[in-house]
Chains A and B, each alone.
Chain A
């Protein structure tokens, strides 16, 4: 089976600062990394390949820097990578990225399964997987844990595994519903699956693979127009404005009064800072 993993280059959230005066991100010290959820998606794909055989292809839409995440995916174990880059993608928003990824998946056909990260660090919303599925006309599952099992046909029974090289008609998985509560799902292929972080760590690249990742022929680069996308396809659907910030902090404040009233006051503060959901009140 051929599995495509969509990997995205994001900023490491620990290195992104917020400029209060400018009401925007301060990216001067920011470091670009592979989106953490995508590492879990890649790990899920590699395990599925170990169980059912086939090929794992990393697919990324980005600028020239995004080549790094393609190489990193190969170093982690992907068989090859495709980078869709170019100046016409510089201002691409969610709609255009979904179209470009769908075009890339069409280019890689036949594809059985597409794995994406549930949401990007820093500013992710989890909108990409259902958008991509709509663009492809495939079913989609969200919030799925990385342990996927292959099965020969869509059936509600968990664990109906297939051997390496056999025909895989569906994947069975667990979607997270609430903390500690999951739901068994079975998806007929082809399908798009959005992966959340699981308990196991994604594997580290092996030194030999790191060196190998730069071997010629493993990473292909194409432009959006190579894939038949027009300027109209790539037009931005949204425009990003400034940040809305919570009130500023001051140290050493004291909340006085009887305990009940003090807790109420603290509650209000925590709500204003969005640290307690409003519904819990």
Chain B
């Protein structure tokens, strides 16, 4: 093994990093495009603050849309040093023109903004900006950190439907990341922070009015958070909620189905549930079912929630690849108790009601 000198040089450089930032260019930028500050953006500003402190840089917030000074003050309390206001929604060319002379070190976009119809802005403009400025990109980051040795920004990118996260070091400058803000720690709210609010004087055209189609049908949460309209089945769902006789009645099962909907899960059941008429044949789990060991290959669920099921070999074979098995039923000696990762010995109907209440809050 040869000695890596760059490592040593980088180590020597670390001491300088903590100093007060001075330059007019560079910096960590957060881009808010929907015109309002939601909690996700405040969390993103906090993440930008943490990165900037490690890099020795300022945190800038570019706020487009109908941003107001009050939003700017809240952003400063959340960790921004400088807030830049603009009107309208920038096209990629506008954003490139804005950023090119400013030479940002890091640019962060939210994966999803407050307004439903702005969800694609960050995911469109972030990667576009990275390409146009010949920078580096993580188009979907769950977290970000600064490598203490090389002083590089490292993104944590979900892989295999977030079963794990891959570290991705962003080498080229600017380092652009589109960040899933729902996964970030809570926002800072520190009244002692100071900062400046500046108007860029820029007015970009208003975005074209969107044309929502609320009932285009068949749409359910599919692969990833990008959405999709492939029907959710036992074979492709990341989460499965399955019910057995322990749910006692059709009403009990309907509650489990509502819980499944709230979790973005597919609904299944065992032979007893089929006999009771609660499920159709393509929802059957077990040796003869749609999700039998032999028939299932498409994808293992990451979470299998068994409500009111004692379990048997057929069930266990069908779910053996599941990431996490949670069983809710009253009997500690039921076969499923030894197979499940987590057991709650309780009435499954009550459980569904409590969890559903918590999800809908």
Residue numbers of A with Cβ under 8 A of B are 13-14, 16, 18, 25, 37, 94-95, 98, 118-119, 122-135, 140-143, 145, 156, 174-185, 196-199, 235-246, 249-256, 259-260, 262-264, 266-267, 269-270, 273-280
Contacts and interface: CB of A to CB of B under 8 A. Distances in A.
Given A16-B160, A95-B172, A253 B342 contact: yes
Nearest to B347: A259
Nearest to B264: A179
B182 interface: yes
B342 A269 contact: yes
A179 B231 CA distance: 11
Interface residues of B, number: 95
A241 B229 contact: no
A142 B120 contact: yes
Contact of B227 (A123, A176, A185): A176
A232 B107 CA distance: 23
B293 to A, nearest CB: 14
Interface string B290-306: 00000001111011000
B132 interface: yes
B149 interface: no
B222 interface: yes
A273 B210 CA distance: 36
B343 interface: yes
Given A183-B210, A275-B239, A238 B220 contact: no
A249 B354 contact: no
Contacts of A252: 337-341, 343
B279 interface: no
Contacts, number: 271
Interface in B205-228: 210-224, 226-228
Nearest to B157: A125
A180 B123 contact: no
Among A237, A267, A276, find the residue whose CB has the most chain B CB atoms closer than 10 A.
Answer: A237
B130 A126 contact: no
Nearest to A145: B229
B228 A278 contact: no
A111 to B, nearest CB: 18
A125 to B, nearest CB: 4
21 contacts: A13-B160, A13-B299, A14-B299, A16-B160, A130-B125, A142-B226, A180-B218, A183-B211, A196-B229, A238-B137, A243-B159, A244-B164, A251-B339, A251-B341, A252-B340, A254-B345, A255-B342, A259-B346, A259-B354, A269-B342, A276-B359
Interface in B84-138: 92, 116-117, 119-120, 123-132, 134-138
Among B159, B220, B355, find the residue whose CB has the most chain A CB atoms closer than 10 A.
Answer: B159
B78 interface: no
Nearest to A25: B159
Contacts of A130: 123-128, 131, 139
Given A118-B226, A244-B156, A246-B164, A254 B134 contact: no
Contacts of A242: 166-167
A254 to B, nearest CB: 5
A131 B131 contact: yes
A132 B222 CA distance: 25
A253 B339 CA distance: 9
A197 B125 CA distance: 23
Interface in B132-189: 132, 134-140, 142, 154, 156-157, 159-172, 178, 182-183
Given A134-B129, A237-B171, A275-B303, 9 more contacts: A131-B131, A132-B131, A177-B116, A180-B216, A181-B219, A197-B228, A197-B230, A245-B165, A267-B358
